Amino acid sequence: MSMTQFLLPVLALITWTAVMWFWLYITRIPALTAARIHPNKARHPSGDWKAKLPSRVLSITDNYNHLHEQPTLFYALMFFIALTTGGDATSWLIGWTYVGLRVLHSFAQIFASQVVTRFFVFAAASLALFVLLIRTILTLIA
């Protein structure tokens, strides 16, 4: 498997993050306008202005932020694997599983009202990431 093929899940998750960025702004700007919130009021994420926005808009914002948290470990790990062991089909499949679960997590966070649903998807994605990490460590020490 080429390094380019192996890193396609990374490109896919970066692309999904860009999609969420567009979704964030096409929902947030109209919501801020409708709620008559001046942009300067929204400069601090913990301000009381958030109470005036619809929950779904806040969920999109939260999800976009979440795509800059744990996935950074995924990006680093995938590049580490590509540069050290070259990666194999199993790691590639786990990488795609992680990406699919993160996309599913986005939809669960935005559309599902049950936090437990979102938690289980997040936990499954985390498990995939940790399996990928453990496989990498075992490959290096073997």
Q: At residue 5, what are phi and psi to the nearest 5 degrees?
A: -60, -45
Q: Which domains does the chain have, with CATH numbers?
A: 3-141 (1.20.120.550)
Q: What tokens appear for 27 in the block?
A: 């929902």
In this prediction, what percent of the chain has a pLDDT beyond 70? 100
d(CA 142, CA 123): 28
Q: What is the pTM of this model?
A: 0.93
Q: Which tens digits make up the pLDDT trace of 56-92? A: 999 999 999 999 999 999 999 999 999 998 899 999 9
Confidence of residue 48 (pLDDT cuts 50, 70, 90): confident
